[in-house]
Each structure stands twice: as C-alpha cells, then as structure tokens.
Amino acid sequence: MKRSRLLTRLWEFQNKFGFISDNAILEIAQKLRVSKIEIEGVISFYHFFHRKPTGKYIIYLNNSIISEFKNFETVKVAFEKETGCTFGIYSDNPLFSLFETSCIGLSDQESAALINFYPFTNLTPKRVKKIVNHLKIGKDLSEIADNPTSKIHYTPNEEKTIFFRDYILGNALQNLNKNTPEGVLETLFKTKLKGHGGAFFSTGLKWKYCKESTSEKKYIICNADEGEPGTFKDKSLINNLPGLIIEGMVIAAFITGAKKGIIYLRTEYNYLLEKLQNTIAEFKEKGFLGKQICGIKNFNFNIKIQLGAGAYVCGAETGLIESLEGNRGEPRIRKYFPTEFGYLGYSTVVNNVETFAKAARIIELGADHFSKIGTENSKGTKIISVSGDVAKPGIYEVEWGITLKELLLLSHATAPYFVQISGPSGECINQAEFNRKICEEDLLCGGSVMVFNRYRSIIQIIENFINFFNKESCGACTPCRAGNQILLEKIKKIKRGICTTKDLNDIKEWGKIIALGSRCGLGQTSSNTLIMALDKFKDYFDLKVMSCDINCNIEFDMEAAVFDYDNLIKETQY
C-alpha cells in the first residue's frame, strides 16, 4: 500500500467501525512498514478520526461565532438532552456521539450541524428534538437531511456576472486545440489572474513555473478545503458549477504538461462528493478527461478526489500536500515553492476552487471581456460569502472595486458596526472604513464578509477567533502554539474586567512574536484581528482598561474613583 493512500484507508476503518482500533493501526503500520506511533500521530492530527468507539450517529455541531450569535448554546443543550450524551465525551451510548467542530461552510444557515456528514441547518431546540426522534426510530439520514444550498445573489449589473452565468460543459476546453499552451498562458497574464485562496499570487506565474520545471512528473491540485470560518463560496461553486472547476484544472494541465490532478475535498463537504465524481465521469465520457483530450496528441490528464479529515491548516498549500502524502498536515518550512518541490517531490500547482473556475471562464470568454470589469489590478468579479447580521445572507458575485458599504446595502445589513473581512485571519473594519473598495488596491477579500451589529460583544467575537486558532494550531512552531494560548488568557482578563494597559501592550508584543516566529499563515495572521481591533475600536477597549484602572485606584481614592467609574459607565455603555 502506498503511503499516499493512508487517509483513504483510515476513512475505511472509521466509516466501517466508527473508530480506528489498535488492530487497524497494526494492520496499516505493517502494510506501510512504518511504526504504529507514526500512524497514531497522523490519526491524532485530524478531528474526524476517532480512537474510541462512537455511536452510530456522530453529530458535529458548528461552534463558529455566527452560530454562537444564533442559537448555538440552546441547540447544544437540546442535543445533550435528547440524546443523553455530553459533547466531547465518549460514552457507551450505541446511537449517538456529540462533538463540536469549527466552521462547516454553512454560516448563512446557522446554527448548523453535520450528522455522519449529512447537513442539518437552521437548527432550533424543537428541530433537534424532531431530528433525534427520527434517528431513534431508524429514519434514513439522506431522507431527513437538509439541502444546504446557499442563496446566490448576483452583482447589481447581471451583464457583468462571470461565474454564475449559463454553463455548457466543455465550452472553455473546446478552444484548446486551436491554441498553444503559451497562448493560453498569455491570456491568463493579460487578465492578471491571481490565486483566490488568500495569497493572491499570480496564477499565470505559478503555472509558468510548473510548465518550465524539468520535473519528471507534474501534478495539478485543487484545494477544496475551504476552512476559513464564515466562508462558503467554494461550496457553492462545487455545488452549482463543478464542471467549471474541472475545466480550469484541465487548462492548467494543458499549460504545464501535468498528467494527474487531485481535488482535495474537505470532509465537511462530503455531501458534494458524488456530484464531483459524476462530473468527472461525464468529462471522461465526453473526451475532456482521459487520453488525447479534445483530440490533442499526448494530452492525457485524469483527476481523482481525496477527502480530508478535518484540519484547518490543511488549507495551507504545503499542509495540504503533506496530508495528501499521508502525513500529518503540518505546513512545510518555506524552502521551495510547490512548483519546485511539491506533491511527492514533483512540481505541483496548487490553486483553490475559485481560481480554477475563473481560469476556465477567462479562456471561455476571452481576456478582453475580463479587462472591462473590475479595477486595474483586480479584474473580473469576486465571489463573497456574506453572513451574520444581514437580512439576506448568502453568496454575492460582485465586481472587484465595489465598496463595502454597497455590499452591506445589498445584503441588507442591520446596523453594521464590526465587519470581519476574509475570516478570523483577515481584518476587522469599523464604520469609518465602510467606503473602502474591495480590491487589491484597497481591501483584499479572500471570500467572506461577516457582519456584526453594535449590540454584539467585540470581545466575544475575538475570543471565538483566538479559540479557533488555538484549537487549529498544529503545534509545530512554539510561538504559534504557546502565543495564541497567551492571547487567550489576556482576552479572558479583558472579559473579567481585570485587564491593564500593560496587558494590551503585551498583546501587541505577543502578536509580533507569533507572526514573526510562525511557519504558516495560521500563526502569521492569528493575532491580526485582535491587534487591529485594539486600534479600530479603541473606545471599547479603553473602557475595559480604564474601568480596571479605576478599580485599582479605589484603594487610593475611593470617593473620586467611584464617581469617575459611574460616569464612565453611563457615557460609554453600548
């Protein structure tokens, strides 16, 4: 057995027995000729593998901040009451096991849970009771699960829609036999296409590096491990336009000469697996995958799908490659780009779902069409997942350059006050910045906008984010592993009203240490929001510190301090 099959093999045991036993580990270790400890190490890295027996139904309840502000707590209590189990505790209950999990890509339909990876949305205690009763009497999960489709809202000018327009399978690919790899690459360069996974690196350059590589084999990997909390746009693309993504991968193969492609699909989107498989089969049938694609001599390319197993950091390209190779998904030390040393040591292109879909549309519609849309550096449109305090949550395809204010109006935001762009690793925006433009020249957006009104607790939002990073840190770098824990302790001090000015300064210093000493994007960005919020919502934090300072002053001048404290509270309460 090849090491790269390890995740698939572990899933087979997990799905069949509900957990991975000592015997299973021994069997795998012998087949791979590695130690049992090494297999244990891989299993312990991923949230969805269990070493202890679980019930027939494993329930994962999403604990993202959007869910917290909906009815996470009451839904959690309801699940415990109806099943008789406790979250996070393995029991001998044969039917149910309960776990919390981070964002499952359903922020527009919270509170949400996965039951054996079937989606259940808009949960309330009443619905939980009904669902659990159905499961107790043996109803089929596929019959009672929800349709998790997100509502798609178009750009104000529908003519400028690029992604969510009519799609005909093969439309982009049919032009390949009239073109050369160099010509197709040139078209991508003209549109300044950049990766939409967060780094915004030039896609044309990345594919060019792989094309020019002398690597014996080459791989095209589609990162469908969209784990940034608040983001669900890639899910919508897979659900609505799976063919467009595959066409993008085929184009990448045409340019680079790669023969194999892999879609790394997060297990949270397991319900989309069949759709992807069917699309791949249809491509093969129509001659757009397999041998002599589009009748082009020696143009052979195939795609397989690999399921992840629950680890945010596998969204980082080298973490994802490690995971595909059957290892813990720890991001590599940046020594080589994947185009130099990628999957199994070969030249590899890794791009996310949206990038491949956009590349396909560029080849289908032409560079000129794109050049007319967007801004100088950000051509075309962007898909954004909007959630939180808005009347119309869902997917928005907007022209690059739209202002945040326009997007907030489109989504019917209710009293927006604190807006989080690009998930917890992105940046927080205050009301004074609502006129900023979403584009490379101003405010880059990876794909999510979470809106919070002025009645939401800022410290609760930030605590949820730092908690998330703490849980998802792979632990390889000490500053990330320990630093985020320290930030969490500081946040708890702020919440308890015992934070001092020194604590806030410490937070900034720790933020720098974590960012500088961390290997991957998780550590490099985990303190961003907290540190930005200290400046952008200064009044809010000043109040927290000042009330503590006054409490401290009580010892010295009780009368004056109490007077000041009362006034302060009256003036600054939200």
Taking CB under 6 A as the rule, which mask of x and - marks residues 153-192 in contact with ligand SF4?
A: ----------------------------------------
DSSP code for 151? P
**Which member of 330, 354, 427, 463 binds ligand SF4 (CB under 6 A)?**
330
Tokens of 332: 């590599």
Going by C-alpha positions, the residue among 491, 541, 540 that lies closest to residue 511 is 491
Smallest distance, ligand SF4 to C-beta of residue 199, A:
14
Taking CB under 6 A as the rule, which mask of x and - marks residues 266-305 in contact with ligand SF4?
A: ----------------------------------------
User: Is 228 one of the binding residues for ligand SF4 (CB under 6 A)?
Assistant: no
User: Is 518 one of the binding residues for ligand SF4 (CB under 6 A)?
Assistant: yes
Q: Quick one: 378 or 524, whose CB is closer to ligand SF4?
A: 524
Three-point CA angle 126, 143, 127, nearest 5°: 5
Helix (H, G, I), strand (E, B) or coil at 543: helix
Residues 258 and 270: their CA atoms lie apart, in Å, by 26
Give the largest CA-CA distance in the chain: 89
3-state DSSP of 211-275: HHCCCCCEEEEEEECCCCCCCCHHHHHHHHCHHHHHHHHHHHHHHHCCCEEEEEECHHHHHHHHH
User: Is 321 one of the binding residues for ligand SF4 (CB under 6 A)?
Assistant: no
Q: Torsion over CA of 120, 123, 128 and 131, rounded to 10 degrees? A: -30
Smallest distance, ligand SF4 to C-beta of residue 441, A:
29
DSSP code for 87? T
**Which member of 350, 520, 530, 531 binds ligand SF4 (CB under 6 A)?**
520
- Taking contact as CB under 6 A, which single stretch among the options 113-121, 224-232, 366-374, 515-523 is the one that binds ligand SF4? 515-523
Smallest distance, ligand SF4 to C-beta of residue 188, A:
30
Smallest distance, ligand SF4 to C-beta of residue 513, A:
12
Smallest distance, ligand SF4 to C-beta of residue 485, A:
12
Buried b (16+ CB within 10 A) or exposed e, 307-325: bbbbbbbbbbbbbbbbbbb
Q: Quick one: 183 or 475, whose CB is closer to ligand SF4?
A: 475
User: Is 475 one of the binding residues for ligand SF4 (CB under 6 A)?
Assistant: yes
- Taking contact as CB under 6 A, which single stretch among the options 36-44, 165-173, 477-485, 550-558 is the one that binds ligand SF4? 477-485
Tell me how crowded residue 496 is: count the other CB atoms within 10 A of its CB: 10
Phi-psi region of 53 (alpha: psi -120 to 50; beta: other; left: phi over 0): beta
Q: Quick one: 70 or 519, whose CB is closer to ligand SF4?
A: 519
**Which member of 173, 398, 413, 477 binds ligand SF4 (CB under 6 A)?**
477
Tokens of 113: 């849970």
- Given CA atoms 340, 178, 247, 7 in this order, what sign does their dihedral have? negative
Query: Helices marked H in 401-500 — which ranges?
Result: 404-410, 458-472, 478-496
Tokens of 194: 């950049």
Report CA Rg, the chain: 25
User: Is 480 one of the binding residues for ligand SF4 (CB under 6 A)?
Assistant: yes
- Taking contact as CB under 6 A, which single stretch among the options 11-19, 66-74, 423-431, 473-481 is the one that binds ligand SF4? 473-481
**Which member of 135, 474, 504, 531 binds ligand SF4 (CB under 6 A)?**
474
Buried b (16+ CB within 10 A) or exposed e, 74-86: ebbebbbebbebe
Taking CB under 6 A as the rule, which mask of x and - marks residues 90-109 in contact with ligand SF4?
A: --------------------
DSSP code for 442? S
Q: Quick one: 375 or 470, whose CB is closer to ligand SF4?
A: 470
- Taking contact as CB under 6 A, which single stretch among the options 202-210, 387-395, 514-522, 545-553 is the one that binds ligand SF4? 514-522
Q: Quick one: 156 or 475, whose CB is closer to ligand SF4?
A: 475
CB of 305 closer than 8 Å to CB of 325: no
Smallest distance, ligand SF4 to C-beta of residue 470, A:
10
Q: Which helix (H) or strand (E) holds 397?
A: strand 394-399
User: Is 322 one of the binding residues for ligand SF4 (CB under 6 A)?
Assistant: no
Smallest distance, ligand SF4 to C-beta of residue 523, A:
3
User: Is 329 one of the binding residues for ligand SF4 (CB under 6 A)?
Assistant: no
Q: Quick one: 330 or 389, whose CB is closer to ligand SF4?
A: 330
Query: Helices marked H in 94-191 — which ranges?
Result: 125-136, 141-144, 181-190
- Site size for ligand SF4 (CB under 6 A): 15
Tokens of 130: 């009904």
User: Is 487 one of the binding residues for ligand SF4 (CB under 6 A)?
Assistant: no
Residue of this chain nearest to ligand SF4 (CB atom) = 523
Distances (CA, A) of 133 to 129, 140, 141: 6, 12, 12
- Taking contact as CB under 6 A, which single stretch among the options 3-11, 71-79, 238-246, 468-476 is the one that binds ligand SF4? 468-476
DSSP code for 436? -
Q: Quick one: 102 or 270, whose CB is closer to ligand SF4?
A: 102
Q: Which residues bind ligand SF4 (CB under 6 A)?
A: 313, 330-331, 473-477, 480-481, 518-520, 522-523
